[in-house]
Amino acid sequence: MVQAVNDGLKSIMREDDSVLVLGEDVGPKGGVFLATEGLTSEFGEDRCFDTPLSEDGIIGVGVGLAMNGMKPVCEIQFQDFIFPAFDQIVSEAAKMRYRSGGQYTVPMVIRTPYGGGIRGGLYHSQSGEAYFAHTAGLKVVVPSTPYDAKGLLISSILDPDPVIFLEPKALYRAFREDIPEGMYTVDLSTTRDVLPGDDAVIFCYGAMVPVATEAARRIKESRNKDARVVDLRTLMPLDEDAVLQAARDCGRIVIVQEAPRFCGYGSELSAMIAEHAVEYLEAPIKRVTGFDTPFPNTLENYYLPDARRVTDAVEEVLDF
């Protein structure tokens, strides 16, 4: 995935001179995960450059560039460090189109690794997608495969509005997948059916997609039941029609997120299904999530949802 992100940036920068990359150590070093490796050498320091250690400065500069005809891609090294820039994101980038009556748009992307999986402890493992999905004017995108990472990233850069592009760092080097060379896009606000099925449906995104897929395979082996796995891909705006149709088709629903449970993204998903498809439900909706605590270091494997916890949840809705 990290190579797909890198290739996506190179592909669109070759096509569009208005695209540039800025952030801490994104230049010659290539970023802490090497997602921007080689960009400065190919495109020069005017189009891929290091910034001071100031997240609000990075995003503030990005907003100004976007309002003046550029397409900045701002990198925040870890999503945990995005909060000093929160006001620039939710009060400026997200609201500029509305407050200017459409005179200005902010075509910028904020890339940031999120989530657990690298034993980073409480300051390098948070999942803050709900903060941004709650903010009108922002789009929130979470890829789970190399193919989607490149295609969704290019689509995000081409989008006229600000996009929070959350990259699950646990998947950066988890598996390999062939992807096309050059430019291609994956439409925002679309879901992806990972596995077919009509006995239950598991909604997931990011690093929870392979976890949910493994759980569905275990259910098939142990119960001979087919659990559909749906990768949400774009959390905001969500493809609500696809989600509701899958809920109606299956009737038994499990939602998986690694973020804490209370007020998490899965809560909104549960409420939406309850409001619009409750008559199709055959069991209460189950959520498998992280816990309402700071992200632990030594207990990371206990905190993160795994295939066993997801399998247990699917079995509960099947047995209801």
Cis omega (within 30 of 0) for bond into 237: yes
For helices 307-319 and 208-223, what crossing angle results, to 10°?
Answer: 50
For the residues of 89-118, what is the DSSP string, one character each?
A: IIIIITTHHHHTTTS-----EEEEEESSSS
Label residue 245 exposed, middle or buried (CB < 10 Å: 0-12, 13-18, 19+): middle
Beta-carbon contacts of 115 under 8 Å, excluding residues fewer than 6 positions away, are 79, 125, 126, 127, 166, 168, 169, 170, 206, 207, 258
Q: How far does CA 163 lie from the centroid of its chain?
A: 10
CA 117 – CA 66 distance, rounded (Å): 33
Q: Which among 124, 228, 286, 287 is annotated as catalytic?
A: 124
For helices 265-277 and 240-250, what crossing angle results, to 10°?
Answer: 70
3-class DSSP assignment, residue 276: helix
Pure H helices in 191-306: 208-223, 240-250, 265-277, 300-303
CA 53 – CA 78 distance, rounded (Å): 12
Catalytic annotation present for 124: yes
CA distances in angstroms from 49 to 22, 23, 76, 84, listed in the order given: 5, 7, 13, 20
User: Do residues 166 and 192 touch, judged by C-beta distance below 8 A?
Assistant: no
Q: How far does CA 223 lie from the centroid of its chain?
A: 31
Half-sphere exposure of 214 (CA within 13 A, CB side): 11
Catalytic annotation, residues: 124
